Structure 1
Amino acid sequence: MSEGLNRDYQVCEEIGRGRFGTVSRCFSPESGDFFACKSIDKRLLTDSIDRECIEKEAKIMQLVSGNPNVVQIFDVYEDDSYLHMVIELCESSDLYDRISKRTFSETEAAAVMSPLMEAIAHCHRLGVSHRDIKPDNILFDVRNRLKLADFGSADLFHDGRSMNGIVGTPYYVAPEVISGRDYGEKVDVWSAGVILYTMLAGIPPFYGESATEIFEAVLRANLRFPTRIFHSVSPMAKDLLRRMICKDVSKRFSAEQVLSHPWITNGGEARSMTDLT
């Protein structure tokens, strides 16, 4: 354990575990507050790509910190064996836990989508694409405020620089990522659209028995709204879904355009499609 970390914080019980390390609750005697400490065991990083992602994560979190809907990073400590990031503690259930229990009304879904898209738009303005938007990475603090977390797959795209590499999670990944070509930040909008669909329908729009089958369904991008599931979902919500889960990247909405869509600005309240004109 880093000397600096032990000097400034009391590291308590483990509350999570990942491929390269653990997340523990920690306490600051100086402030009297609890935080989360993400500890990466650098000895488990067997290739240069993993090392680069871990180093980039701390830098990107420092860049995007400051937005109320992004998990904040407070301190970074590093020694020969570990990288420790002291971040905001979010102890409420994550969105995955909430989605797995029930479907959402349109107003409930909009209450999630609005701050999520604010967080994504904030990152995009800074030239950061999250690249792994999924319910597991959408946390809530004790006041039930949404916090976008886990920037381990994030990358920079500013100055005309595109991104590449297959990252993300099968159900939520955009088709251009799977296809292996260069892509831009709108991959995050696709993923957020899949989350919106899943909140309203209780099932993802593209699925299969294996990762390969899911990828094939995503590449076909045949977006459907089964009547038995979507009979009570408004035309305006479906319109937004079509604009977010759009295979043609040039026609897919940006994060800012999503925030300006009437379904978002009306808080998911049903309005007529004439509001879109």
Structure 2
Amino acid sequence: MSEGLKREYQLLEEIGRGRFGTVYRCVSSVSGQFLACKSIEKVLLSDSIDRECLDKEAKIMQLVSGHANVVQIYDVFEDENYHDMVIELCDSSDLFDRVSKRLFSETEAAGVMSPLMEAIAHCHSRGVAHRDVKPDNVLFDSRNRLKLADFGSAEYFREGRSMRGIVGTPYYVAPEVLAGRDYNEKVDVWSCGVILYIMLAGIPPFYGESAAEIFEAVLRGNLRFPTRLFHSVSPSAKDLLRKMLCKDVSRRLSAEQVLRHPWIVNAGGEARTVADLT
């Protein structure tokens, strides 16, 4: 890690490891606050594109920081060998760990989906698409507050200007990304729809034995609600899923529209009417 980091923070134990670097728990020498440090060895970066992505991640995090449901960034340090980011510490289990253990009630699922969509809507209002929303990147702090994390695949967008590039994770990536077409920020809404489906059903909506099979299923986008899994799921929840996992991007809800859907407004309870928000 960089010398600048060592001067201002004391590194503690390792709490995570990725392709290029390591995440440590650390403590501020000034405030005594416990935080996390993502330390990346530059020698492991394969080319200039990786370095550009690293710089972009820090800048994007600084742009979207300040929202209660987005992981905050505190400091960035860099020298010849290391690129270090000091970020908010989320030391509770992530959403991947939670969904792998049990099904969620509709009320519990809405309790996750509402702050997650608040975070997504905030990013979109700042002209940022996350592009890799998945349970592993949905963290919780010590007070169980949801925090959207890992902006390594995030990209800027502007009104009327689309994005390109195949990024994301099997199961959660939107079909227009896999098709190689231009796409917009609604790819994040699709990914959140997949998360909601998994919380309620325990399985992903588009499944395969390999990445290629998963991608084929996503591209077909044939959304089903098997009776054995959805017999107790409300019509309002299914309506929201249809409108988030809609292949026609022009009819797919925006993040703001998801937040106004009756199922979200009623915190997972059955609404009397389902508004047509398309």
TM-score normalised according to structure 2 size: 0.98
Q: 1:52: how far off?
A: 1.6
Tell me, yes or no, if structure 1 residue 181 matches structure 2 residue 181. Answer: yes
Residues 82-231 of structure 1: matches in 2 within 5 Å? Answer: 82-231=82-231
Partner residue of 2:270? 270
Q: 1:97: how far off?
A: 0.2
Partner residue of 2:239? 239
Q: Given residue 126 of structure 2, which amino acid in structure 1 is its aligned partner?
A: L
C-alpha distance in structure 2 between counterparts of 1:175 and 1:52, whole Å: 26
Change (3 A) 1:130 1:267: same
Q: SS at the partner of 1:276?
A: coil
Per-residue Cα deviation, 1:115-141 (whole angstroms, up to 9, x for no partner) = 000000000000000000000000000
C-alpha distance in structure 2 between counterparts of 1:110 and 1:186, whole Å: 19
Q: 5+ unaligned residues in a row in structure 2: which ranges?
A: none
Q: 5+ unaligned residues in a row in structure 1: which ranges?
A: none
Per-residue Cα deviation, 1:1-48 (whole angstroms, up to 9, x for no partner) = 212111110011111000000000111121111100001111111123
Per-residue Cα deviation, 1:149-170 (whole angstroms, up to 9, x for no partner) = 0000000011433111111001
Figure out how many residues of one structure are paired with residues of the other and give that number: 276
Q: Given residue 262 of structure 1, which amino acid in structure 2 is its aligned partner?
A: P
Of 3-12 and 169-178, more deviation after overlay is shown by 3-12
Q: SS at the partner of 1:25?
A: strand
C-alpha distance in structure 2 between counterparts of 1:32 and 1:5, whole Å: 15
Partner residue of 1:54? 54
C-alpha distance in structure 1 between counterparts of 2:14 and 2:233, whole Å: 41
Tell me, yes or no, if structure 1 residue 45 matches structure 2 residue 36. Answer: no
Per-residue Cα deviation, 1:177-197 (whole angstroms, up to 9, x for no partner) = 001111100000000000000
Q: 1:68: how far off?
A: 0.3
Q: Given residue 261 of structure 1, which amino acid in structure 2 is its aligned partner?
A: H
C-alpha distance in structure 2 between counterparts of 1:48 and 1:163, whole Å: 20
Identity of aligned residues (%): 78
Per-residue Cα deviation, 1:89-110 (whole angstroms, up to 9, x for no partner) = 0000000000000000000000
C-alpha distance in structure 2 between counterparts of 1:189 and 1:105, whole Å: 21
Partner residue of 2:74? 74
Q: 1:54: how far off?
A: 1.0
Tell me, yes or no, if structure 1 residue 64 matches structure 2 residue 67. Answer: no
C-alpha distance in structure 2 between counterparts of 1:221 and 1:119, whole Å: 25
C-alpha distance in structure 2 between counterparts of 1:207 and 1:5, whole Å: 43
C-alpha distance in structure 2 between counterparts of 1:48 and 1:245, whole Å: 35
Q: SS at the partner of 1:76?
A: strand
Q: 1:275: how far off?
A: 4.4
C-alpha distance in structure 2 between counterparts of 1:167 and 1:29, whole Å: 38
TM-score normalised according to structure 1 size: 0.98
C-alpha distance in structure 1 between counterparts of 2:52 and 2:164, whole Å: 14
Tell me, yes or no, if structure 1 residue 25 matches structure 2 residue 52. Answer: no
Runs of 4+ with deviation above 4 angstroms: none
Per-residue Cα deviation, 1:249-271 (whole angstroms, up to 9, x for no partner) = 00000000000001001000122
